[in-house]
């Protein structure tokens, strides 16, 4: 690991060593940033490589306005409804006594393992003529709600129950006390989750493509598939990246400093306390309906399709594809961790360079897979050694999901108690040594989670994989996609089901309800 190089000679002057260690850290972060700049460079190069005339044609046609309006409308609808639904689900799970709250919480989060195109595929098998904007809103709500639920749930668990009880003794009703006491405490985490959902919708490819909704990603795909001149696709991709960047800026500017005055909340029992029949009925109804739409119906459909596909399953290929998927995703998550370690470490030390790097990476994270694919194909075409190799595919995963890992790395380092580092310092350990001997071991579980998170996202990735995979190399996602494309819904089922099953493992490990304080939305 890169931090190895930070360890130095015991006898050196510790101040000198601190600055040299820091320099190395900055250097490695700079490397990470340089890698992250590659897609942008090739995107800009691609956009301006064609005739300048084309930029005008692409941007000034009526269709572009339509694409813009559709994208923004889809993003707004999904973000608002998902946030509302996700917070409601989390509130119910946290406050209403449903007898098995932690099991329900695990189930409500589980859809994180199901990518949008699998949802679309199963719902299209249930409702054959499922098409259009409303359908896309429906599918994307199912897909993105768990991100909000997860964020809200972890924020609620960290929130201060004592204040709430004081408020209720003072006669505030549930709504008022939620608005006045709870909401300010969870707002920042939830809004980070909403940003994540908005970015997800902007970059979603599978659902809009299958449902025929003309958003930016679908338009980019159409231009990519239907035209020899790839600059047209790059131009639209640049516009999409700009929208994502604006969104991130708005979110971080509207974020308010949370004025949480923590009291003795650790001592308060955190069990769900609302026991009234009516609340329990309504909460069960909400959670039940969500689970039926997001988990039970699609999984049942996959299972039925799987059973009818049973006689014709090519088990050898299924196994090989699963291995390929795991291999590429694992390689991607390891590269991501390598890149994320120095950046996370730097930004946990509250340095300006660190937070700059952090912010820049967030914009890379907002790059839709299809855009990443487009620019890395251009990059690879000039570098035959890496072109169409698993290495380049894994590298694209690392770039796409590195920002998620950085968030986890940073929080895990921040969680290391400061006084332990100070004790290490008084024991004559240099900064580098204390990082190695104290911080990294304590942060290891968090680093593991970061790796899992990238692994999970990489497994589900579709558009960049379609463009960058080596010829003949199939992942579960691409196999499923090509079977769906030729209407072989039954043949697609084993791949989809296996994908969801494998993805459920990291999804469950990351979001174990008993450890949910460590989870949450970690892109901010």
Partner 1 sequence: MPTRFKKSLAATVIGILLGSTLSSCAASDQGQSLTIYSGRSESFIAPFFKEFTAQTGIELNIRYGDSSALAAQILEEGENSPADLFISQDAGSLGAVSVTGVFSKLESSLLDRVGSDFRSSNDDWVGLTGRARVFAYAPDRVSKLPTSYQSLIENQYNGKVGIAPTNASFQAFVTTLIQYQGLATTEMWLQKMVENNVKLFEKNSQIVTAIDSGLIDLGLVNHYYLWEVSESLNRQINVKNGFFTAGDLGNLINISGAAILNQSTNKEAAGELIEYLLSDSVQLKFVADTHEYSVVLVDARPEGLPSFAEIKAPSVDLSRLSDISQTQKLLIKLGLI
Is residue 227 within 8 A of residue 52, CB to CB? The reply is: no
Helix (H, G, I), strand (E, B) or coil at 96: strand
Query: Considering the rule CB under 8 A, would residue 437 count as an interface residue with partner 1?
Result: yes
Which two three-digit tokens encode residue 344?
Answer: 């996370």
Q: What angle do CA 16, 17, 22 make, to 5 degrees?
A: 105
Residue span binding partner 1 (CB under 8 A) among the ranges 56-64, 86-94, 170-178, 290-298: 56-64
Work out whether 334 is an interface residue with partner 1 (CB under 8 A): yes
61 binds partner 1 (CB under 8 A): yes
CB of 314 to partner 1, least distance (A): 12
Instruction: For partner 1, give the closer residue by CB, 159 or 231.
Output: 231
| Residue number with CB closer to partner 1 (360 or 389) | 389
Q: Is 377 in the site for partner 1 (CB under 8 A)?
A: yes
Query: Looking at beta carbons only, is 322 or 440 nearer to partner 1?
Result: 440
Please, which residue, 109 or 374, has the CB nearer to partner 1? 374
Instruction: Determine the Cα–Cα distance for residues 154 and 517; give it in Å rounded to an integer.
Output: 5
Under the binding rule (CB under 8 A), the answer on residue 485 touching partner 1 is yes
Give the other-Cβ count within 10 Å of 470's Cβ.
Answer: 15
Among 87, 152, 238, 440, binds partner 1 (CB under 8 A): 440
Evaluate whether 342 touches 29 at the Cβ level (below 8 Å): yes
DSSP 402-468: HHHHHHHHHHHHHTS-HHHHHHHHHTT--HHHHIIIIIHHHHHHHHHHHHHHHHHHHHH--HHHHHH
Report phi then psi at 484, rounded to 5.
-65, -40
> Which lies closer to partner 1 via its Cβ, residue 417 or residue 441?
441
311 binds partner 1 (CB under 8 A): no
Q: Is 436 in the site for partner 1 (CB under 8 A)?
A: yes
Stated length of the chain: 524
Residues 128-187 that bind partner 1 (CB under 8 A): 128-129, 131
CA-atom Rg of the chain in angstroms: 24
Kindly provide the b/e burial profile for residues 482-521, where b requires at least 16 CB atoms within 10 angstroms of the residue's own CB.
Answer: ebbeeeebbbbbbbbbbbbebbbebbeebbebeebebbbb
Residue window 265-304: x/- pattern of binding to partner 1, with contact defined by CB under 8 A? ----------------------------------------
| Contact flag: residue 5 with partner 1 (CB under 8 A) | no
Using CB under 8 A, which residues numbered 443 to 472 contact partner 1? 444, 470-472
Measured from the Cβ of residue 292, the count of other Cβ atoms closer than 10 Å reads 12
- Taking alpha carbons only, the member of 66, 130, 23, 119 closest to residue 500 is 119
Q: Which one of 100, 269, 384, 426 is in contact with partner 1 (CB under 8 A)?
A: 384
Of the pair 171, 384, the CB lying nearest partner 1 is at 384
- The answer to whether 57 contacts partner 1 (rule: CB under 8 A) is yes
By CB under 8 A, tell whether 341 contacts partner 1. no
Q: Which of 14, 425, 482, 518 binds partner 1 (CB under 8 A)?
A: 482
* Helix (H) or strand (E) segment spanning residue 238: helix 231-254
Contact track, partner 1, 15-44, x by CB under 8 A: ------------------------------
- Given a contact cutoff of 8 angstroms between Cβ atoms, the answer to whether 130 and 123 are in contact is yes
Tell me the C-alpha distance between 246 and 75, whole Å.
Answer: 14
Record the tokens describing residue 36, joined without a space: 């992250």
Across-strand partners of 274?
96
Q: In angstroms, what is the minimal distance from the CB of 499 to partner 1?
A: 19
Distance CA 167, CA 158 (A): 17
CB of 391 to partner 1, least distance (A): 7
The conformation of residue 201, written as its DSSP 8-state character, comes to: H
Q: Which one of the spans 5-13, 136-144, 484-492, 510-518 is the region binding partner 1 (CB under 8 A)?
A: 484-492
Tell me the window of 50-58, 262-270, 287-295, 509-517 that interacts with partner 1 (CB under 8 A): 50-58
Q: Which lies closer to partner 1 via its Cβ, residue 102 or residue 227?
A: 227
Residue 223 is a binding residue for partner 1 (CB under 8 A): yes
Binding mask 186-215 vs partner 1 (x if CB under 8 A, - otherwise)?
-----------------------x--x---
Tokens of 303: 């299972």
Is 510 a binding residue for partner 1 by CB under 8 A? The answer is no
Residue with tokens 């940033």: 33
Query: Does 428 contact partner 1 by CB under 8 A?
Result: no
Q: How far is the CB of 233 from partner 1 (least distance, A)?
A: 9
Q: In Å, how far are 29, 322, 376, 478, 505 from 467, measured between CA atoms?
A: 28, 19, 9, 10, 27
Looking only at residues 385 through 404 of this chain, which bind partner 1 when binding is defined by CB under 8 A?
A: 387-388, 390-391
- Write the DSSP assignment of 269-293 as a string of letters: --S--B--HHHHHHHHHHHHHHHII
CA 213 – CA 226 distance, rounded (Å): 17
Residues contributing to the site for partner 1 (CB under 8 A): 1, 4, 54, 57-58, 61-64, 66, 128-129, 131, 209, 212, 222-230, 232, 327, 330-331, 334, 377-378, 381-382, 384, 387-388, 390-391, 436-437, 440-441, 444, 470-472, 482, 485-488
């Amino acid at each position: 690991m890169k931090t190895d190089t930070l360890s130095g000679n015991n006898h050196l002057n510790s101040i000198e060593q601190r600055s040299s260690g820091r320099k190395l850290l900055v250097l490695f972060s700079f490397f990470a940033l340089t890698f992250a700049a590659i897609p942008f460079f090739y995107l800009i190069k691609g956009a301006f490589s064609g005739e300048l005339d084309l930029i005008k044609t692409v941007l000034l046609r009526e269709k572009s306005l339509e694409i813009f309006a559709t994208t923004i409308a889809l993003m707004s609808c999904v973000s608002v409804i998902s946030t509302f639904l996700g917070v409601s689900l989390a509130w119910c799970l946290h406050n209403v006594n449903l007898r098995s709250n932690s099991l329900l919480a695990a189930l409500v989060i589980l859809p994180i393992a199901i990518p949008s195109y699998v949802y679309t595929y199963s719902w299209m098998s249930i409702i054959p003529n499922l098409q259009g904007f409303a359908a896309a809103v429906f599918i994307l709500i199912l897909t993105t709600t768990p991100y909000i639920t997860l964020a809200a749930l972890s924020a609620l668990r960290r929130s201060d129950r004592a204040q709430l009880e004081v408020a209720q003794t003072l006669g505030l009703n549930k709504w008022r006390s939620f608005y006045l006491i709870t909401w300010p405490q969870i707002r920042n985490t939830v809004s980070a989750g909403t940003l994540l959902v908005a970015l997800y919708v902007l970059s979603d490819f599978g659902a809009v493509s299958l449902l025929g909704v003309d958003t930016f990603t679908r338009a980019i795909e159409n231009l990519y598939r239907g035209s020899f001149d790839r600059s047209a696709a790059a131009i639209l991709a640049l516009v999409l990246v700009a929208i994502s960047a604006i969104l991130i800026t708005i979110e971080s500017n509207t974020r308010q400093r949370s004025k949480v005055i923590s009291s003795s909340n650790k001592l308060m029992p955190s069990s769900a306390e609302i026991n009234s029949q009516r609340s329990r009925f309504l909460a069960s109804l909400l959670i039940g309906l969500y689970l039926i739409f997001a988990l039970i119906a699609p999984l049942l459909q996959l299972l039925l399709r799987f059973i009818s596909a049973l006689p014709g399953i090519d088990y050898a290929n299924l196994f090989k594809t699963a291995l390929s998927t795991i291999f590429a995703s694992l390689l991607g998550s390891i590269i991501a961790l390598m890149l994320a370690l120095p950046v996370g470490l730097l930004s946990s030390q509250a340095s300006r360079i660190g937070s700059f790097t952090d912010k820049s990476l967030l914009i890379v994270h907002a790059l839709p897979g299809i855009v990443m694919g487009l620019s890395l194909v251009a990059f690879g075409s000039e570098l035959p050694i890496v072109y169409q190799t698993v290495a380049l595919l894994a590298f694209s995963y690392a770039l796409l999901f590195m920002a998620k890992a950085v968030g986890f790395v940073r929080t895990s380092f921040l969680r290391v108690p400061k006084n332990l580092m100070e004790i290490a310092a008084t024991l004559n350990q240099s900064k580098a040594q204390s990082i190695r001997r104290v911080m990294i071991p304590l942060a290891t579980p968090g680093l593991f989670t970061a790796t899992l998170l990238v692994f999970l996202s990489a497994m589900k990735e579709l558009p960049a994989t379609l463009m960058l995979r080596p010829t003949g190399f199939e992942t579960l996602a691409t196999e499923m996609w090509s079977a769906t494309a030729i209407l072989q819904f039954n043949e697609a089922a084993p791949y989809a089901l296996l994908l969801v099953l494998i993805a459920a493992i990291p999804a469950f490990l990351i979001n174990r309800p008993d450890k949910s304080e460590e989870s949450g939305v970690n892109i901010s």
